Structure 1
Amino acid sequence: MFTNQEEKCARRALFCFMLATVWESASGQIRYSIPEEMEIGSFVGNVAKDLGLDVKQLSDRAVRIASRGRTQYFALNFKSGHLITTERIDREQICGGLEKCLLNCEIIVEDKMKLYRAEIEITDINDNAPSFQREEIEIKVSETTTPGSRFPLSDAHDSDLGINSLQGYQLSNNRHFSLDVQTGTDGVKYAELVLEKSLDREEQAVHDLVLTATDGGDPVRSGTAQICVVVLDANDNAPVFSEPVYKVNVLENVPQGTTILTIKSTDLDEGINKQVIYSFKKITDKASKIFRLDSNTGELTVVGNLDFEEASLYEIEVQAHDGGGLFGRSKIVIVVSDVNDNAPEIALRSLINSIPEDSLPGTVIAFLHVQDPDSGDNGEVTCSTPSNFPFELKKPLDNYYSLVTDRALDREQVAAYNITVTATDNGTPPLSTATTIPLRILDTNDNAFMKPSYTTYVPENNPSGFFIFSVKASDRDLDLNARVTYSILSTIYAERSDYKQFREFEVQVKAEGGRSLPLSSNVTVRLFILDQNDNASCILYPSLGADGSTLFEMVSRSAEASYLVTKVVVVDDDSGHNAWLSYHLLQVTDPAHFSMGLHTGEIRTTHAFADRDAVKHRLVTLVKDIGQPPLSATVTLNLVFAENFKSLFRK
């Protein structure tokens, strides 16, 4: 057990160690996979186990979860160390048609100043049924249309992936029509209505059919559309577009109401068969809210907000119907160009509000994440701080900056700073964002005789005559009156220093100046002895025999997995880091049968005893500290699996 004074020294040493530590770059990445639509609070992964964190020390101050998007989908359960969901995750809403849907979050371990990245793959489930953009499809067919003619049908859409997506179409029984399903080069299935038998408008003017789209999920989901085939008189010319593909480039900040394209088609027929109506053949829900097509003029107008960061390309299929029921097809490709409409975003990931004035250059003050949603030069960001401040920015990772000191600080000159970090992109014109980081400079005793005492530290075990500390007094007088004499030597030497015997002592120093009516000043010098790693671990239990091994210890043959076989008890006369111990198994007769707690020294079974297992086991254990250099001790344990000594002898 530590004394109160030891605990204070340990905390003071740990505090100084943390202040001088530079933030480390991301030390690893973990990956998990979960299906979409899981309940809130569902298990994602054991972060504490995978990162080697102690569950007992987890808290919202020690470990934080940060996600890159606006929605926090994951959180850390500090009791179990598990990563859990905080929102119901819809893969189609987050990733759309991407084959692989990944969510990322960052795990920040504050006390270790470490950053980990977690990548969670969201797998698809069959939670969407195929659906048609229009539930009722009207097809006008001339009665002179020859058998074998084909009529494209509206495509069904299924947001799921793979086998859960659209797999095929079926048509209700009809003696005049059949269904032909083709698979395009992009893997998408297209359905066409095929005329099998000539139509007679006088016999039947309308044919009602049902088109069913099915996926391959379990259970199978389906959607239907009603097809109404209207039989017309002869119309032998279909509309023809002026271009097979229309391509247009548009800036993302184009005003609503702007016409960006006009499509044109011609029909050689006369009268009602020449009148053309334009419409969308295939368009996504998102695109239908942004673009409007004038059915009479063919003008394509922007009616919603374009955002390059959400979508940079739209492909729309259009068709032109004449009055006789014939149609022509074309495609519109809309390329959205990026403009610099997003200022950089600065997020503080970690922050220290105060540091001592004697902090070394390179001390980390803050860790920032900087990003810009724009692309190209518009998304390239540079960060800066005032040039007259003793701080600089370093970039350990992409999109991350660490704010560190770049020279010595002096609290007597500047006691506090408001450090402005400015992030500016390379767009035209450039956009910038600034954040201010307040920093207080803590005082240290760095002015001679300005305070009534000095404090210094000296390692134990130094030799006689070892230099410890030097005091110096100043006098603002001139000539002889400015000469200062000391009642003891200006340099203090140690005769002996042993941390285990002496932890601290004080020395009084008197400085006297001038010859006529001399003035004097006293100062107290307090010296603290610092511990060194000069004591190896001492094993208290199990006790050692003459050959360095323990006597035989008996373990019940009925012991289950995780049964506590024994515990190695060790003491170390050192303190702080020099007394932090870890336990390891060096040699084991059957390595698969035992495990040892890294920090507890507990030896447990990994599985229940089986008749085929060896009865006797020899375990060599190692106990070492983390001092510099580390010191260690070993002990050999002899274990026997038996119910009693009699049963052992029978064996």
Structure 2
Amino acid sequence: MTTFPQDCKMRAVFCFIFVNIWQVVAGQIHYSIPEETGKGYLVGNIAKDLKLEIKELSHRGVRLFSSGRTQHFALNYKSGHLYTTERIDREEICGWVEKCVLNFEIIVGESMKVYGVRVEITDINDNAPKFHSEKMELKISELTLPGSQFPLYEAQDPDLGNNSLQGYKLSSNSYFPLNMQTTVNGRQYAELLLGKPLDREEEADHNLVLTAYDGGNPVRSGTVQIHVMVLDANDNPPVFSQHIYEVNLREDTSIGTTAVTLKATDLDEGINKELKYSFIKITAKASQIFHLDSNTGEITLAENLDYEDSTRYEMEAQVHDGGELFDQSKVIIFVTDVNDNAPELMITSIINSVPENSPPGTAIALLKVQDQDSAKNAEVMCSVPSNFPFQLMKSYGSYYSLVTNRALDREQVMAYNITVTATDHGTPSLSTSLIIPLQILDINDNPPLFRQSSYVSYLLENNQRGASVFSLKADDPDWGENSRITYSIIKSQMADFPLSSFLSINSETGIIYALSSFDYEEFREIHFQVKAQDGGSPPLSSSVSVTLFILDQNDNAPEILYPSPPTDGSTGVELAPRSSEPGYLVTKVVAVDADSGQNAWLSYQLLKATEPGLFTIGLHTGEIRTARPFLDKDALKQSLVVLVKDNGQPPLSASVTVTVVLADSIPEVLTDLSSVSAPADPQSDLTFYLVVALAFVSCLFFTFLLVLLALRLRRWRNSRLCDSGSLNFTEVPVSQFVGISGAQAFLHSCCHDFSLTTDSQKSNLGFPKGNSPSSPVK
């Protein structure tokens, strides 16, 4: 076993770094760092490379985005430096890939600009060559000819270049020199060469040490113990049916499937024909995925394949017979890709709300799409619903920007749930969807609108003060303060009167109230305008024309114009010739009503006449005509009471007295009028009757008082005569029994209480004392 010199000082941490090597080309920033750097290792200054001020980092929202499972780097927003977040191991991250590069993106601010960052991990000699087993056994027949070659285990070194495996060394011995071979891709492997004939009887076992070393500084190495056993002669070796086995396996091949079956033949008999299969060169990862049945030579799948992990596996198999003769064959398994990975969609930046007046092209979100498959299976197409006002625009690399492509209107759609779908070109295709919620913010772009182009309302006159007339309603499709509506009256056609003294409007509800009682005879209609204004900034408004019609109420009695009401207590006189025929027009009562409609329809009735049946009156014309010829017995002066009534509910009326004088000529009229006394006033007769009735009642009451007084005096006198000794009147004033005034006093004293007292000897009748101090009468 050979030990290589190692310089302890060379194990010190590298005193130089490569992180200052960067450049920005076509939107990319390049850095280079050595592997095995620890957490917090400075990679570069992002702020300086992107020409950003330190104070702008948090304000502009500079963010780092990596699509890998592990975030290897972080950004310090206070200094702008890019740091590692964990120990960086090139072999763990990139495996056998010769050039290890980590890619991520820097997203800058609301502009959503994307810069690619490439960090190359350079290799250091941190791995020693290693054999997959620490011991190896070889069985060689003593008849084996010198010059025969025996394959040895191959060491693995995940480092690159000089740091990787450089060669092998074998411990010194007299039988087996080391034979080095080189593959077509330049990889070296070692074989054990038989230098001279073996003699089992002389030496049956040989123990060797094979050392694999790399070219790093310091040099690292690994060893394997080789035990060679010398066997008796076996003259026919086994032979594989193929020198190279090539197999294509889909990555979705199920576990337990036979990938390939190795076949070998041996012409010997007995124990020397018993064959055993084994792998002599296989990577640790391949040994976990593939299993070789040593008896049948079947290579089966022990774990799932993944094309994205490895596209091919190379192994070397060996077959031994019972006498330990062998043959070798290479097995190459190609993994073919299937579309087993759906595209991945990741949101790197998003805005949750935009105002409805945002211009087309406003960025909503920045998305990154990727597919772990390859070729067409990794080609991805992204889409959004065509009926939405959004589109996806290709950005840097595999980034897409979701932007608006036309104007937004919150009144039509208040919010969107935008479904972004990523579909690959595999067969069958796979897709992934995610939903981006977006709220549309309101702006004051809609004025209030009334539900009608104009309003007409009706109000009955003599309404109560403060009564609700009617209400208006305007709608504003905006939201919040922009839809809060206030109402006001802005214009009126009442030039002579201020409208504010008649009407008012509730600024919040739009209800119009009457401030005064309207009179149809004064106003029949009112025209004005109402404005509705929202609470936006600036506010928007609209107005509507309103007409209020005042409806008539039967609040005016008919007014008689002819004959005119008397001013001196007399009535008008109409002349009717005695020779008048029936139907002669004597006069006409003319009346008007200030109301309108049916409230002003008048009818005439003859309530009272001196000679009933002598005259008639037209129901609707008011014309007084004779109903029959005049007779000599008819009174010269005829008094007619005419009632004029309207058609309202309830009806109102007025009356007038018409005096008609029967005469053939004017001189006769004058003579007759002088001899005709004025007709008795019905009102005066009524007064007379009331006075007479009052006088009669007064006399009757006075008579009743006199009768009552006489009865009292008689009873008192009889009582005195019957019991002059035992009944005494005491303390009764004489004035109470004298004259009319005495009678009044007696009636007054009778209203007082009196009592009758008795004792064992006599009974006394006592009267209350009067107001006079006179002595009692005995």
Category of TM-score, reference length = shorter chain: 0.5 to 0.7
| Greater shift in the superposed pair: 159-168 or 328-337 | 328-337
- Give 3-state SS (helix, strand or coil) of 1:325's partner: coil
Cα distance, 1:60 vs. partner? 9.1
Residue 375 (str. 1) matches residue 385 (str. 2)? no
Q: Residues 219 and 418 (structure 1 numbering): CA distance in 2 closer, same or farther, change over 3 Å?
A: same
Cα distance, 1:404 vs. partner? 1.4
Q: Which residue of 2 aligns with 1:208?
A: 207
Distance 1:105 1:426 in 2: 25
- Is this contact kept in 1: 2:444–2:537, CA < 8 A? no
Residue 154 (str. 1) matches residue 153 (str. 2)? yes
Distance 1:447 1:402 in 2: 31
- Give 3-state SS (helix, strand or coil) of 1:253's partner: coil
Q: Which residue of 2 aligns with 1:166?
A: 165
Distance 1:401 1:134 in 2: 50
Cα distance, 1:51 vs. partner? 1.1
Q: Which residue of 1 aligns with 2:27?
A: 28
Deviations along 1:446-504, one digit per CA (max 9) or x if unpaired, are 123x3xxxxxxxxxxxxxxxxxxxxxx999526999xxxxxxxxxxxxxxxxxxxxxxx
Residue 518 (str. 1) matches residue 528 (str. 2)? yes
Q: Which residue of 1 aligns with 2:265?
A: 266
Partner amino acid for 1:156? A
- Give 3-state SS (helix, strand or coil) of 1:226's partner: strand
Q: Residues 265 and 46 (structure 1 numbering): CA distance in 2 closer, same or farther, change over 3 Å?
A: same
- What are structure 1's unaligned runs of at least 5 residues? 1-25, 451-472, 482-509, 528-651
- What are structure 2's unaligned runs of at least 5 residues? 1-24, 458-487, 494-525, 539-778
- Give 3-state SS (helix, strand or coil) of 2:55's partner: helix
Residue 282 (str. 1) matches residue 281 (str. 2)? yes
Q: What percentage of aligned pairs have identical amino acids?
A: 61
- Give 3-state SS (helix, strand or coil) of 1:231's partner: strand
Q: Residues 514 and 274 (structure 1 numbering): CA distance in 2 closer, same or farther, change over 3 Å?
A: farther
Cα distance, 1:197 vs. partner? 2.5
Distance 2:337 2:165 in 1: 34
Residue 221 (str. 1) matches residue 231 (str. 2)? no
- Give 3-state SS (helix, strand or coil) of 1:132's partner: coil
Q: Which residue of 1 aligns with 2:354?
A: 355
- Is this contact kept in 2: 1:315–1:334, CA < 8 A? yes
Deviations along 1:240-283, one digit per CA (max 9) or x if unpaired, are 11111112222212221111221100112222222111011211
Deviations along 1:403-436, one digit per CA (max 9) or x if unpaired, are 1112111111211111111222233333222111
Cα distance, 1:61 vs. partner? 7.2
| Greater shift in the superposed pair: 393-402 or 186-195 | 393-402
Distance 2:87 2:98 in 1: 20
Deviations along 1:98-151, one digit per CA (max 9) or x if unpaired, are 211000111111244221111000011111111111211111112122322222
Q: Which residue of 1 aligns with 2:323?
A: 324
Distance 2:60 2:362 in 1: 21
Distance 2:410 2:67 in 1: 37
Cα distance, 1:520 vs. partner? 4.7
Q: Residues 112 and 382 (structure 1 numbering): CA distance in 2 closer, same or farther, change over 3 Å?
A: closer
Partner amino acid for 1:178? P
Distance 1:415 1:255 in 2: 50
- Is this contact kept in 2: 1:475–1:513, CA < 8 A? no
Distance 1:316 1:170 in 2: 23
Cα distance, 1:356 vs. partner? 0.9
Distance 1:211 1:52 in 2: 56
* Structure 1 segments (4+ residues) deviating >4 Å: 473-476, 478-481, 510-516, 522-527
Partner amino acid for 1:316? M
Q: 1:477 aligns with which of 424, 430, 453?
A: 453
Q: Residues 514 and 351 (structure 1 numbering): CA distance in 2 closer, same or farther, change over 3 Å?
A: farther
Q: Which residue of 1 aligns with 2:186?
A: 187
Q: Residues 188 and 511 (structure 1 numbering): CA distance in 2 closer, same or farther, change over 3 Å?
A: farther
CA RMSD of aligned residues (A): 2.5
Partner amino acid for 1:116? Y
Q: Residues 291 and 263 (structure 1 numbering): CA distance in 2 closer, same or farther, change over 3 Å?
A: same
Distance 1:404 1:111 in 2: 13
Select the structure that is richer in strand. Answer: 1
Q: Which residue of 1 aligns with 2:77?
A: 78
Q: Which residue of 2 aligns with 1:124?
A: 123
Distance 1:182 1:407 in 2: 69
Q: Which residue of 2 aligns with 1:240?
A: 239
Cα distance, 1:350 vs. partner? 0.9
Q: Which residue of 2 aligns with 1:400?
A: 399
Deviations along 1:548-577, one digit per CA (max 9) or x if unpaired, are xxxxxxxxxxxxxxxxxxxxxxxxxxxxxx
- Is this contact kept in 1: 2:152–2:280, CA < 8 A? no
Q: Residues 406 and 60 (structure 1 numbering): CA distance in 2 closer, same or farther, change over 3 Å?
A: closer
Deviations along 1:521-561, one digit per CA (max 9) or x if unpaired, are 3879989xxxxxxxxxxxxxxxxxxxxxxxxxxxxxxxxxx
Deviations along 1:349-391, one digit per CA (max 9) or x if unpaired, are 1111111111111211111111121223322222222222222
- Is this contact kept in 1: 2:112–2:366, CA < 8 A? no
Q: Which residue of 1 aligns with 2:383?
A: 384
Cα distance, 1:514 vs. partner? 8.3
- Is this contact kept in 2: 1:55–1:81, CA < 8 A? yes
- Give 3-state SS (helix, strand or coil) of 1:156's partner: coil
Distance 1:370 1:526 in 2: 42
**Alignment: residue pair count:** 451
Distance 1:203 1:334 in 2: 44
- Is this contact kept in 2: 1:354–1:442, CA < 8 A? yes
Q: Which residue of 2 aligns with 1:107?
A: 106
- Is this contact kept in 1: 2:129–2:157, CA < 8 A? yes
- Is this contact kept in 2: 1:292–1:303, CA < 8 A? yes
- Is this contact kept in 1: 2:114–2:396, CA < 8 A? no
Q: Which residue of 1 aligns with 2:460?
A: none
Q: Residues 183 and 312 (structure 1 numbering): CA distance in 2 closer, same or farther, change over 3 Å?
A: closer
- Is this contact kept in 1: 2:167–2:214, CA < 8 A? yes
Cα distance, 1:56 vs. partner? 2.5
Distance 2:106 2:135 in 1: 51
Partner amino acid for 2:96? G
Report 1:478-493 matches (<5 A).
Answer: none
- Is this contact kept in 2: 1:149–1:194, CA < 8 A? yes
Cα distance, 1:64 vs. partner? 1.1
Q: Residues 521 and 212 (structure 1 numbering): CA distance in 2 closer, same or farther, change over 3 Å?
A: same
- Is this contact kept in 2: 1:390–1:405, CA < 8 A? yes
Distance 2:537 2:153 in 1: 89
Q: Residues 526 and 414 (structure 1 numbering): CA distance in 2 closer, same or farther, change over 3 Å?
A: closer
Q: Which residue of 1 aligns with 2:48?
A: 49
Q: Which residue of 1 aligns with 2:87?
A: 88
- Select the structure with the greater relative contact order (CA < 8 A; seq sep ≥ 6): 1
- Is this contact kept in 1: 2:444–2:536, CA < 8 A? no
Cα distance, 1:445 vs. partner? 1.6
Deviations along 1:47-68, one digit per CA (max 9) or x if unpaired, are 1111112122323971111112
Tell me which structure has the larger Cα radius of gyration: 2
Partner amino acid for 2:285? K
Partner amino acid for 1:77? N
TM-score by length of 2: 0.55
Q: Residues 135 and 190 (structure 1 numbering): CA distance in 2 closer, same or farther, change over 3 Å?
A: same
Q: Residues 525 and 355 (structure 1 numbering): CA distance in 2 closer, same or farther, change over 3 Å?
A: closer
Report 1:578-597 matches (<5 A).
Answer: none
- Give 3-state SS (helix, strand or coil) of 2:409's partner: coil
